[in-house]
Amino acid sequence: NAGVMQNPRHLVRRRGQEARLRCSPMKGHSHVYWYRQLPEEGLKFMVYLQKENIIDESGMPKERFSAEFPKEGPSILRIQQVVRGDSAAYFCASSPLRSRLPSYEQYFGPGTRLTVT
């Protein structure tokens, strides 16, 4: 059973370009989460999605960032007009359809390292 897949693993963009980060959840998982880790800092939640729905985007910057999880295909985190401060590791996690209680875990991918030059 393949784990969470993220690609690309490394992405270099010049200031002002767009960055697209892809995440394929584990088989059978319908919930996707995106987290960001700035250099020398902890992980910060960005957004939580189910198929075709954004459930919680409280951690997303108000501008330039968007996320989707279409019915078919991977989840996409899109950063428009990147700036140097966007340089970070972006991690995706997935979990299965939840029960009423939070007794399941999130499985993380290897991350995408974004470098903005």
- Give contact residues for another protein (rule: CB under 8 A): 4, 31, 33, 35, 42-45, 48, 55-56, 58-59, 89, 91, 93, 95, 98, 100-103, 105-111
Helix (H) or strand (E) holding 96: strand 88-96
CA distances from 93 to 32, 64, 96, 107 (A): 6, 21, 11, 5
Using the minimum distance from each CB to another protein, give the nearer residue, 59 or 66.
Answer: 59
**Which residue, among 6, 54, 32, has the nearest Cα to 98 in the 3D structure?**
32
Using the minimum distance from each CB to another protein, give the nearer residue, 44 or 78.
Answer: 44
Using the minimum distance from each CB to another protein, give the nearer residue, 74 or 110.
Answer: 110
